[in-house]
Amino acid sequence: MSIHKTYAVLGLGRYGRAVAKELTESGAEVLAVDTNQNIVNQAALELPYCKCANITDPEVFYQLGIGDVDTVVIAMASNLEATVMAITLCKEAGVKNVIVKSGNETQSKIYTRLGADKVVFPENESGIRLAKNLLSSGFVDMMELSKGVSMVELDVQPDWIGKNLIQLDLRRKYGMNIVAVRNAGVLQTDVNPQQLLTADMKLIVIADTKKLAKLK
């Protein structure tokens, strides 16, 4: 899992704070920033690296070292101008992964054109789920079914290509239950254990969340 990557969360409303808290509790290094001192004071009770700053100021942005982190989550959907500026500064600084919270489709199109790597809608994806997906680097998607058990869609690992599920014995090695295979965009729920895996396939599995870390 990618807890060793670094993160910055810009905007500590309900969504941004949920992302930052989940990442922090999972052991990741997270810089949390908001322009409201009261919000920062409350968030600081849960987040060790919490700053009150105007990240739309290029000088402040670089002083905080936001351009040096691996992933930036911009959760300021209510402030279009600030979000646009933050995306621009992130891309100019070479941030590898910029994720932006959007309030509507029009905003989403703007953010995508500016270079956002992913746009999320809070009504469709919770902050906690986004954090879990970030921590599970290499997984296409991850959903917690219950405490400690997750359903994950993941890429076929390089050393799995050309082998079938019987040969790989993923249930024994990783505690994985393969529930479906996505092949050429088609979801196959009747899984053939003798089918050879290819690089463009996706596996949908149910497994112990902690055991999934063995893949990384």
Express each pLDDT in 116-159 by its tens digit.
Answer: 998 888 754 565 566 665 655 544 455 555 566 777 778 888 88
Range in 14-18, 32-36, 140-144 with the lowest mean pLDDT:
140-144
Sign of CA dihedral 10, 11, 16, 21: positive
- Beta carbons within 8 Å of 87's beta carbon, 6+ residues apart: 74, 98, 100, 111, 114, 115, 116
Assess whether pLDDT exceeds 70 at residue 215.
Answer: no
The mean of the pLDDT values for the chain is 83
Express each pLDDT in 159-204 by its tens digit.
Answer: 899 999 999 998 888 888 888 888 877 778 788 899 999 988 888 8
Domains of the chain: 6-135 (3.40.50.720), 139-215 (3.30.70.1450)
Rounded to 5 degrees, φ, ψ at 145 are -85, -40
Q: Which residue has the higher pLDDT, 132 or 13?
A: 13
